[in-house]
Structure 1
Amino acid sequence: MSSTQSILLMAGEASGDYHAAALVRDIKSIRPQVRVVGIGGDKLAAAGMELLHHYRDINTIGLSEGLGKVRNIIHAYGTMKRELRSGEHSLFVPVDFPDINIRLCGLAKKAGVPVYYYISPQVWAWRRGRIRKIAERVDRMMTIFPFEEKLYREAGVKADFVGHTMVRDLPDVIDRSAAKIGLGLEPSRNTVALVPGSRQAEIRRMLPRMCEAAAIFLGEFPDTLFVLPLAGPHLAGIVREILSQYAVPVEIHKAEASVLMAASDCGLVTSGTATLQAALAGMPHAVVYALDGLTWLIASKVLKPLVMDSDVHVAIANVLAINDEKDGRGPIKLMMEAGHRIDCQECGRPLFVPELLQNQATPAKMAKWLLTFRSDDSLRETMERGFSWMRQSLKSSQSGRTAADIILEFIAGK
């Protein structure tokens, strides 16, 4: 097969698998003969990509988990290195996952393979100096947040805001009752989402705390139903094992997390892509997260002062709200005008959604926020208005061009 018909793609985590699968579906709906091969997950495989490795073999979080997958990571990296040097691919499309992908971009450059990066590394959050490497190694950056396009263009990188995958099919207004009915839930019953993450290690850390918070909440609202989106069938065992230790009514659902959160009145969400899903679903929530002790010590005492911006936040909703606020508008202004203020526990600045990190991520504090969301109608309505604002801001650019359009235009010109 001609190299002009082959794309090499690298998505090293669940969120990348989700976004890239939509991209591959778009490409194949227009040009079904285009071959896409690389590293990804079940969603990419279902979309038609040939998997060289599954992302679960290489994806880690924290030092202790990473040590156990070193051999897999080296093997997968070697596979991608050979593919880039094979001469079979006309384009390399890395998807987020910067620690490996930026290195692979350097190999692609040396091999003469153009690089169109889809979903920017969060250089606006930490290690901003990576923009220099990206400018040297990437031919084009396709961003899913509007403020990233400006950031890259100012650094001399050709960049396009292409819209966010998650908002493409979302309605302008979320109908929570209809969403509940669609999942077979009682529309009038108070429903709370527990979203403990997509990795075993973070589920083991976060789900027990969430269950304890749920037990506290049940003391005030005993008719509450708790729902949990299962990130993958491989996680069913560990989730059931943990839930069996708590007398909390939790239904496990295989529905997409965003669908389940649209049907939930409020929730607790582990930091990551799910925080954006919660915002776009219009669900009032608190973002919670905790690392293992050693990783947190190194990250907070050594790495953060060196590589992270002082006003970085883990909830994407807060990142979007703060960037909108720079223009004198946005969700935080809505919050303040309604008489509400949610402060960052570290820097004291106003946020749009609460963040409970490490020692702050206690069952008592989680339960406090759930109770606040349940009892404060004004706060809940203000958050829903702000989330609607975010949905509009993440729709595709004025040109309406998608990542698939840009990639296929390049291939056609080869």
Structure 2
Amino acid sequence: MKYYIIAGEASGDLHGSNLMKTLKKVDPAPKFRFYGGDLMQAQGGNLVKHYADMAFMGFLEVALNLRTILKNLKKCKEDILSHRPDVLVLIDFPGFNLKIAKFAKEQGIKVYYYISPKVWAWNQKRVLKIKRDVDQMFCILPFEVDFYHKWGMEVDYVGNPLLDAKEAFKPNPNFRAENNLSDKPIIALLPGSRKQELNYILPDMLSVISSFPNHQFVIAGAPSFNADFYKQYTQDLAVPIVFNATYDLLNIAEAALVASGTATLETALFKVPQVVLYKGSAISIGIARMLVKIRFISLVNLIMDSKTVTELIQEDCNITMISKELDDILNTPKRTVMLDKYEILAKEMGSAGASEKTAELIYKYLKKAS
């Protein structure tokens, strides 16, 4: 089968790579063409465009980069038409992927969606477009099944692929030595993988270092950047940066400051107490507050449907609040409470196997349709 996969972010690259790995087990002769990153490229096939050139965060940032986005859409449509895949597999990234879904459906190409867009958060009527343009939806969050059912759409719940990635992880016993890390307890900084996230959030993360002299802060670097790129943020601070080793970092971290996104759930699965941060342009945040209709922004709190981790958003994302919350999860009973809730979260998430289940369903549906 010919698979055309589109992932527009670092998390999508991770999930896409695991999906490709398992598709190779169920399909005797898979051919991959994709938008993604280094992890997907390692699985073979043809990388058309790297996600580092596609990801824009926030309403204002999207507007400012509209010409680039439209150019990317045009090239993607042309490439899909020229290669005519058996199926288009979309991974999250809704602003781009829902437009491509509509186009592919009009061209008679099967459209499968792995990892649902967060249509439950805002503009829920987008579900109607998904019903029209998507042939199969594979969900990774338990509450999404009931959400889609209320809109008259049956979906497949496959579990969460982060469990697959964590299960496959093998700790590097020489991680500290190889990265010249001290013996101090480590606080992991996960500032995201997009320039806009780093610009808004990383300086605030770094601002609290002097308040915790007995800890070593370590940045989980995004694979789309290099160490020189981070120097504009760290300047004279002696902050190590590790690349392609986020799980090794979380595996030994005592606590973490995490940009809202998939990383919040990964941090919880590694049982690392965390503070979730989110900041953007005033215009983007203002628009989001008018449109978003959910109580929380972190996946941990959304799945638990209660405040498990503290979320510091926009004006609350400052040195005073970050320092206080970080101190709480290091030195007060709040740490134990959070770890106890993580145990409940782990049970709610279930077991690993999302990639395998999704690959098997994709291949089964394709064989049935052929």
Question: TM-score when scaled to structure 2?
Answer: 0.90
Gaps of 5+ in 1: 323-331, 333-350
Larger Rg: 1
1:7 equivalent in structure 2: 3
What SS does the corresponding residue of 1:47 show, helix, strand or coil? Answer: coil
Residue type at the aligned position of 1:369: E
Match of 1:308 among 265, 272, 292: 292
Match of 2:175 among 183, 190, 197: 183
The equivalences for 1:313-332 within 5 A come to 313-322=296-305, 332=306
CA contact (8 A) 1:7 1:34 kept: yes
* Distance in 1 of aligned mates of 2:48 and 2:118: 26
* Distance in 2 of aligned mates of 1:240 and 1:277: 26
2:331 equivalent in structure 1: 375
Match of 1:284 among 267, 270, 273: 273
Shift of 1:25: 1.0
Moved more, 140-149 or 194-203: 194-203
Shift of 1:366: 0.4
Shift of 1:88: 2.3
* Distance in 2 of aligned mates of 1:139 and 1:208: 43
Shift of 1:224: 1.2
- Please provide the CA RMSD for this pair: 2.6
Shift of 1:318: 0.4
1:241 equivalent in structure 2: 232
2:196 matches 1:201: yes
What SS does the corresponding residue of 1:19 show, helix, strand or coil? Answer: helix
The equivalences for 1:213-228 within 5 A come to 213-216=208-211, 218=212, 222-228=213-219
Note closer, same or farther for the CA distance 1:157–1:398 as it changes in structure 2 (3 Å cut).
Answer: farther
Residue type at the aligned position of 1:366: I
1:338 equivalent in structure 2: none
Shift of 1:166: 1.2
* Distance in 1 of aligned mates of 2:244 and 2:97: 30
* Distance in 2 of aligned mates of 1:363 and 1:268: 12
Identity %: 29
Per-residue CA shift, 1:117-155, capped at 9, x if unaligned? 100001111111111111111111101111112222332
Shift of 1:412: 2.5
Shift of 1:259: 2.9
CA contact (8 A) 1:36 1:49 kept: yes
Shift of 1:84: 4.1
Per-residue CA shift, 1:82-119, capped at 9, x if unaligned? 34444721111111111121121111221111211100
2:320 matches 1:364: yes
Per-residue CA shift, 1:234-288, capped at 9, x if unaligned? 2422322321244xx4221124323312311112111112111111111111101
Match of 1:263 among 230, 252, 268: 252
Residue type at the aligned position of 2:365: F
CA contact (8 A) 1:200 1:235 kept: no
2:223 matches 1:232: yes
* Distance in 1 of aligned mates of 2:48 and 2:102: 20
Question: TM-score when scaled to structure 1?
Answer: 0.81
1:339 equivalent in structure 2: none
Note closer, same or farther for the CA distance 1:91–1:62 as it changes in structure 2 (3 Å cut).
Answer: same
